[in-house]
Structure 1
Amino acid sequence: MTTGQQPTGPADRAVTVDGVPVRRGSRVRLRPHHRSDIFDLALTGRTAEVATVEEDLEGRTHVAVLLDGDPGRDLGSGTQIAHRFFFAPDELEPLGSPDGGGRPEPRVLVAGVGNIFLGDDAFGPEVAAALLDRPLPPGVHVADFGIRGMDLAYALVDGYDAAVLVDAAPRGRPPGTLHVIEPDLGEAAGAAPEAHGMDPVKVLALARRLSDGALPRVLIVGCEPESCPSGEEPEVTPGLSAPVREAVAKAVPLVEAVVSDLLAELRNRTAARPAPAEGSIR
């Protein structure tokens, strides 16, 4: 080692994620792989600060993060009391832009909703599972919410700029017909909030109450089911009908196109603002 040179340690390392340098002190959002263990998946969407960028003996990079809200953080970022969680670089979403201008990437939530035990109501979860096997643009998060309406309501108020709900939506068309709907959020305001269950209108109503009326733009990619569950205790019928099964493959590129249009719209709206540091894109 030449005199005067300093060795590169974890505190000095950086890794590039989506064109953004990530190093100690960088702010990130966690996007664990869908095949990660349940403990990592539980942290999906949480924000954190990078503690160190580590390299193992096989040359693989791991990023240690400190979660926002961890009470051990109050003692300083150098404390060993706060819990450190390790993620691969591609499981992180930098909270900043590749051009270094301080303008955050737009965030879009794609939510599969529906009951996998009620036939065609499983359309949304099936599409979400298919999307998780495809590359996603920066800032896009796909999740299967199933019938967890409360979780979806809280996700909608967690700083997303737009959301795409994927659901079985009867509209009197032939089974398997796909359509894109922009719900009237004014109608959602009049619906009774529901803490449990997955009625999209009631979920939006609950999200409005949680956010004091400030919701991101919401679109629904719906599929006409062959049959709809009915009654207070509908019969368990796992498996999609043939036309809805075929529609899943068609819905994947449709959702990707909708997301692409939303990202372009959000970026254009952000770029039109003269002072990037003055606020969010909403």
Structure 2
Amino acid sequence: MTGDREAGAASRPPVGPRVQVDPPGFEPPGCEVAVIGCGNLLRGDDGVGPILVRRLAETGVPAGVRLVDGGTAGMDTAFAMRGARRVVVVDASRTGAEPGTVFEVPGAQLENLPLDAPHPHAFRWDQALAFGRWLLGDGYPDDVVVYLIEAGGVEPGADLSPAVRRAMEQVRDMILSGLAPGTGGTDG
């Protein structure tokens, strides 16, 4: 038994500094902007991020924009940022503000938060920004912005509340105006 454990330990990679390795054919998918909607579609207003991404997919976005349903897996958010110059994250918040209130938070305020050994099954998108900064190094996006929409109800099976739906459309318009040529968004 001891020999098996020792053999297993010898086959584990050494712990050390981050090393970024891109195997052939696994280069990051480049894009100008990645819009990542986070949240749980099955819990009312908490699903505003993925619903907004679906709405953008229905109405169309300029070339160079990648739309990502980040769901509730923060780790997916970290990897979805890979290859993007600019990232927009949209999620619901619960701060006690009026439902539908929109908060715009520069990613720089969140990406340097302490990364205290998050559990892989409870890894949030805000932790993903800090993890992404570490993981991607020089490949981290130049610009990250987070739109938080204050949720009202997050009951299982509920639809978006009217206030959150209106706020989602407002954020959608803000995102699209930032993607227009000459506004700092995509070049095309």
TM-score, normalization: structure 2? 0.70
User: What is the aligned partner in structure 1 of residue 175 from structure 2?
Assistant: 255
Change in Cα spacing, 1:124 to 1:186, as seen in structure 2 (3 Å) is closer
- Give the structure 1 partner of residue 133 of structure 2: 208
Q: SS at 2:151's partner residue? A: coil
Secondary structure of the residue that 2:158 maps to in structure 1?
Answer: coil
Runs of at least 5 residues in structure 1 that lack an aligned partner in the other structure = 1-66, 70-92, 96-105, 230-234, 268-282
Query: Is residue 73–residue 125 contact of structure 2 (8 Å, CA) maintained in 1?
Result: no
Aligned CA distance change for structure 1 residues 110 and 259 (closer, same or farther; 3 Å): same
Q: Matches of 2:102 and 2:53 in 1, distance apart?
A: 15
Amino acid across the alignment from 1:208: R
- Structure number with greater Rg is 1
Deviations 1:176-202 (A, max 9, x none): 1223211314533x1335433452221
Match of 1:177 among 90, 101, 113: 101
**CA distance in structure 2 between the partners assigned to 1:139 and 1:251 by the alignment:** 19
What amino acid is the match of 1:168?
A
> Equivalent residue for 2:166?
246
Kindly indicate which of the two structures has a greater share of residues assigned to helix: 2
Paired with 1:208 and 1:151, the residues of 2 have a C-alpha distance of 14
* Residue of structure 2 aligned with 1:68, choices 8, 14, 25: 25
Q: Percent identity over the alignment? A: 29
- Matched residue, 1:219: 145
State the aligned residue count: 157
Deviating 4+ runs (over 4 angstroms) = none
How far, CA to CA, are the matches of 1:127 and 1:221 in structure 2? Answer: 11
Post-superposition offset of 1:159: 1.5
Question: Which of 118, 122, 126 in structure 1 is aligned with 2:47?
Answer: 122
TM norm structure 1: 0.49
- Structure 2 vs 1, CA of residues 193 and 127 (structure 1 numbering), >3 Å: closer, same or farther? farther
Tell me, in whole angstroms, the C-alpha distance in 2 between the residues paired with 1:135 and 1:240. Answer: 21
Give secondary structure in 1 for the equivalent of 2:49.
helix
Equivalent position SS for 2:170: helix
Alpha-carbon distance change, 145 to 186 in structure 1, aligned in 2, over 3 angstroms: closer
1:117 Cα shift?
A: 1.8
Aligned CA RMSD, in angstroms, stands at 2.7
Task: Map 1:1-282 onto structure 2 (within 5 A).
Answer: 68-69=25-26, 107-156=32-81, 158-183=82-107, 184-185=109-110, 187-188=112-113, 190-192=114-116, 194=118, 195-197=120-122, 199-212=124-137, 215-216=140-141, 217-227=143-153, 236-260=156-180, 261-263=183-185
Q: Structure 1, residues 56-81: CA drift from partner, whole Å, max 9, x if none?
A: xxxxxxxxxxx935xxxxxxxxxxxx
SS in 1 for 2:61: coil
Could you tell me how far apart the structure 2 residues matched to 1:198 and 1:242 are? 29
Aligned 8 A contact 1:164 1:219 in 2 = yes
Q: Secondary structure at the match of 1:211?
A: helix
